Structure 1
Amino acid sequence: MRKHIGYLGDVKGKKIAVLLGSSGRKAIPLAILGGLVTVVDISPENQRYALEVAREAGVEIEYIVSDVFEINMDKLKHAYDIVYLEGGILHYFADLAPFARIVHDLLKAACLR
């Protein structure tokens, strides 16, 4: 997180979506720093591991097991201050436009100015 926190600034109290967040490697440090973190990842095994590590670290994270293209946008649209992407995930997408739309739609309207 040292490399990234300079770009993110103070995350305390900020709602953060971590897309394709895997086992919480970035989500848990963001929660330790005071972020209100939600991970979206397709793997139930990653969810179990991330929630266990978060519990041991003394923080809570929300974890949504879902394909990123199937998340409930009625509930999550414009809900986040920050959308964080795990490193090395963009190669999973043949067309970035639909993924970019999801990132855009997750961000609070005030963050888009």
Structure 2
Amino acid sequence: MNLEENKNKIETNKIAWGKIAQQHYEHFKMRLVKEDYKLNPIVEEELGDIAGKKILHLQCNTGADTILLAQKGAIVTGVDLVPENICYAKKLAKDFEVNNVNFVESDVLKLMEVHEGEYDIVMTTDGVLGWLPDLNKWGKVVAHFLKEEGFFYLHDGHPFMMIFDEDALSQGDLIPTYPYFDLTADIDGFIGGYASEAKEAENYFWGHQLSTIINGLLSGNLYVSYIKEYDRCAPGMSGSAVDEHGMSYYPELDGKIPLVLSLKAEKK
């Protein structure tokens, strides 16, 4: 793994995400005002009662989900790489007078250098792992901030789905396009498109195998207590249609392929 090369790619990603931070803030503020933006129902159910819990929310973007967690009574710290995201996350919390939340600007993989604390729950959800080049280091970061009796929660795109051409999926066709076993970063020339206009900006996304995720957690001496797979996901992650519960899926492939996975991990 070329550390200097990955560092440059992370910096490039930071710049790219900064270009759409304001639109993300405006999009989620509007939806929160209308009360039509909710936590992913899968995530909400699997987290359980979080009132009074200290939560570390990694890769929080502009903070909409972080604020929803806080509104359910948790004491939440959101972390994101992008300074513009953190700026707008703080603004969003102020807009809705949510005081039991704070935000930290940091590369997740360097969080131990700038932040201290122990949490009941460390979590990360919906389009996150592909922005991290090193899941072994990630697993150690997760474990570092987790209380002995706490748990880590992940909900993200299924690695199996990352290999297929997304346009073809909408037609019900499975066309392998991206190699499952190649962990090098894939380059894209545009960023955004689900909560903002797609903007021209170079960015990099790392593919991960399921084994890479599990082994990353093992590197932090965490054990996985469950893995679950779903054929529904949050809109914007994947899918070409929305069901009656507001979850996205591919009608032609309904019930046939996993779109996302959840897992829970605890200290050994």
Normalized against structure 2, the TM-score is what? 0.39
- 2:116 aligns with 75
Distance 1:72 1:93, change over 3 A: closer
Counterpart mapping for 1:89-108 below 5 A = 89-108=128-147
- 1:66 aligns with 106
- 2:13 aligns with none
- Deviation for aligned residue 1:49: 1.0
1:30-52 residue CA offsets vs partner (Å, 9 max, x unmatched): 01101100011122211121111
Residue 30 (1) aligns with residue 51 (2): no
- Deviation for aligned residue 1:99: 0.5
Normalized against structure 1, the TM-score is what? 0.87
1:68-96 residue CA offsets vs partner (Å, 9 max, x unmatched): 122236723xx111111031111122331
Mean alpha-carbon deviation: is it higher for 44-53 or for 8-17? 44-53
| Structure 2: gaps of 5 or more residues | 1-38, 151-266
Partner Cα distance (2:67, 2:104) in 1: 15
Residues 13 and 35, structure 1, Cα contact 8 Å, conserved in 2: yes
- Deviation for aligned residue 1:25: 2.1
- 1:87 aligns with 126
Read off the aligned partner of 2:108 and give its amino acid letter: V
Read off the aligned partner of 2:104 and give its amino acid letter: I
Partner Cα distance (2:133, 2:80) in 1: 18
Residues 38 and 64, structure 1, Cα contact 8 Å, conserved in 2: yes
Residues 14 and 35, structure 1, Cα contact 8 Å, conserved in 2: yes
Read off the aligned partner of 2:73 and give its amino acid letter: G
- 2:149 aligns with 110
- Between structures 1 and 2, the one with greater strand share: 2
Please identify the structure whose Cα radius of gyration is greater.
2
Pick 1 or 2: higher relative contact order, CA cutoff 8 A, min separation 6: 1
- 1:6 aligns with 45
| Structure 1: gaps of 5 or more residues | none
Give the aligned length.
Answer: 111
Partner Cα distance (1:90, 1:3) in 2: 18
Residues 26 and 86, structure 1, Cα contact 8 Å, conserved in 2: no
